[in-house]
């Protein structure tokens, strides 16, 4: 806190009062620090795939790669480019939420229908991973920004599929409980150690960096969920057991 007392010495005799200016700079400084860290993280995350792409291009240009190996290296360039595209997409989504640049037209969204749409979108990834993914429950209406609600449900379900194993299951359940709509995403996946559960909503935080990279994570998915929840006055709770699975619950005020 910075406090400034202002008075004019020449008029001190006639002085009848003083102006005290109190500014809370703690919040501002924290935001500044946050921004600096975010920029450093983004730069690092963008640089890694680009370095790999340019390294591969370099060895191809120098004729070091045998013609029969070209498809393999082309595949690597493609994968790294996809990683960049997903990352940039997530950064744009997050900064839109951060700066309240979300179109404010709210509409009534049925969360069960939303969950079923997401299950449909992820069905081929789930099948590829050998994971069964289903959505059930009752209809529950939320007043919100459809696109953001879709991104939130998608990110939770995608994680439940990604951090899972062949033969695993994911259930999405929607219930209207009194004046709330409760959406639960439960999986039988690898789980999250208790000490990490409080950190997974931080930007770029991953429990296991190499695993996340292997399954295609950006580390921003749950930050988008957190910001989206704040926008919709929803609460988030996590319950997880390593090697058993994870359940993440979003509780929205009902429309």
Q: Kindly list the residues in this chain that would bind ligand ADP in the complex (CB under 6 A).
A: 155, 159-160, 163, 187, 189-192, 200, 205-208, 212, 217-223, 246
Q: Is 54 exposed, middle or buried (0-12, 13-18, 19+ CB in 10 A)?
A: exposed
Residue 199 near residue 206 (C-beta atoms within 8 A): no
Our CB check for ligand ADP shows the closer of 176 and 225 to be: 225
CB of 173 to ligand ADP, least distance (A): 15
Strand 235-241, strand 180-187: pairing: unpaired
d(CA 7, CA 112): 63
CA 169 to chain CA centroid, nearest Å: 22
CA distance 109 to 114: 8
Task: Please give the Cα distance from 173 to 249 (Å, whole number).
Answer: 9
CB of 197 to ligand ADP, least distance (A): 9
Q: Work out how close the CB of 133 gets to ligand ADP at its nearest, in angstroms, rounded to a whole number.
A: 12
Q: Residue 176 or 212: which CB sits closer to ligand ADP?
A: 212
Distance of CA 177 to the CA centre of its chain: 26
Q: 132-137 and 169-177: which strand pairing?
A: parallel
* Cβ closest to ligand ADP, residue 131 vs residue 174: 131
Nearer to ligand ADP, 176 or 184 (CB): 184
- Cβ atoms 163, 189 nearer than 8 A: yes
What is the b/e burial string over 58-79, where b = at least 16 CB atoms within 10 angstroms of the residue's CB?
eeeeeeeeeeeeeeeeeeebee
Min separation Cβ 18 and ligand ADP, Å: 50
Token pair in block for residue 72: 């393999």
- Give the nearer residue to ligand ADP in terms of CB position, either 200 or 231: 200
**Of 53 and 87, which CB lies nearer to ligand ADP in the complex structure?**
87
Smallest distance, ligand ADP to C-beta of residue 200, A: 4
Residue 98 beta carbon to ligand ADP: minimum distance, rounded to whole angstroms: 15
* Residues with Cβ within 8 Å of residue 75, at least 6 apart in sequence: none
| Longest CA pairwise span in the chain (Å) | 92
Shortest CB 187 distance to ligand ADP, Å: 5
Is the Cβ of residue 176 or residue 223 nearer to ligand ADP in the bound state? Answer: 223
């Amino acid at each position: 806190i910075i406090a400034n007392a202002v008075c004019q010495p020449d008029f001190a005799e006639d002085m009848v009062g003083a102006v005290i200016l109190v500014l809370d700079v703690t919040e501002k400084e924290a935001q500044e620090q946050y921004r600096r860290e975010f920029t450093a993280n983004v730069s690092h995350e963008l640089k890694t795939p680009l370095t790999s792409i340019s390294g591969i291009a370099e060895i191809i240009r120098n004729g070091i790669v045998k013609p029969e190996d070209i498809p393999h290296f082309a595949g690597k360039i493609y994968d790294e480019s996809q990683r960049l595209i997903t990352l940039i997409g997530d950064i744009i989504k997050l900064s839109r939420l951060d700066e309240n640049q979300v179109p404010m037209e709210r509409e009534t969204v049925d969360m069960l229908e939303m969950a079923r749409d997401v299950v449909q979108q992820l069905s081929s990834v789930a099948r590829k991973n050998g994971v069964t993914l289903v959505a059930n429950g009752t209809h529950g209406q939320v007043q919100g920004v459809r696109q953001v609600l879709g991104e939130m449900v998608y990110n939770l379900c995608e994680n439940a599929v990604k951090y899972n194993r062949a033969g695993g299951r994911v259930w999405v359940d929607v219930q209207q409980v009194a004046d709330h709509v409760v959406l639960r995403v439960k999986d039988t996946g690898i789980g999250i150690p208790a000490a990490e559960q409080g950190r997974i909503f931080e930007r770029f935080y991953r429990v296991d960096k190499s695993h996340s990279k292997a399954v295609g994570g950006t580390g921003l998915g749950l930050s988008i969920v957190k910001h989206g929840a704040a926008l919709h006055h929803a609460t988030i709770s996590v319950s997880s057991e390593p090697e058993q699975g994870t359940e993440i619950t979003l509780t929205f005020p009902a429309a």
